[in-house]
Amino acid sequence: MPENKLPAELISFINEWKNKQGNLIMVLHKVQEHYGFIPREIAFEVADLLEVPVAKIYGVITFYHLFKLTKPGRNQIAVCMGTACYLKGGEDLILELERQIGVGLNTVTPDGEFSAEAVRCIGCCGLAPVMTVNGEVFGNVKIAQLKKILDQVRAK
């Protein structure tokens, strides 16, 4: 699918939200849901349709850390660095994860398979340390389990 043209489904979503409050956030969420990030040319198309300056769109994207400006890996990993997870070894988990996928946080592996980020508390502190892979939660993660988790995800 070409990434420089909004699909009809997104255009009608934008039209539906055009005059509603908070529409920019809703539309950007929808765009990110569709592409996995906010492609630059799509940000320009959204600006046109909503009749807002592109700078406003980028202001929102960079203010809220929810939005990505680059394409993430096929598998998106998030390691919680909230207090409970940090105290239970979240940082070591990140270091080992970086070692196993071969790139640092917020970087896509050369084969496009993985990208990882550190996130704030995701609300399951009782399971610390916690990570998610494509939204699926893994709790009480031990460093020794990481390879198995990555292998399983890679095979899907």
Residue 44's CB is within 10 A of a number of other CB atoms, namely: 13
- Judging by beta carbons within 10 Å of its beta carbon (0-12, 13-18, 19+), is residue 79 exposed, middle or buried? buried
User: What is the full DSSP assignment across 74-117?
Assistant: SEEEEEE-SHHHHHTTHHHHHHHHHHHHSS-TT---TTS-EEEE
Is the Cβ–Cβ distance between 13 and 27 less than 8 Å? yes
Which of 25, 26, 54, 125 binds ligand FES (CB under 6 A)? It is 125
CB of 51 to ligand FES, least distance (A): 40
Read off the DSSP letter of residue 24: H
Which of 15, 70, 83, 152 binds ligand FES (CB under 6 A)? It is 83
Amino acid at 2: P
Residue 137 in contact with ligand FES, rule: CB under 6 A: no
Comparison of 83 and 106: residue with beta carbon closer to ligand FES: 83
CB of 42 to ligand FES, least distance (A): 32
The 23-62 contact track toward ligand FES, x by CB under 6 A, reads ----------------------------------------
Site residues for ligand FES per CB under 6 A: 80, 82-85, 121-125, 128, 130
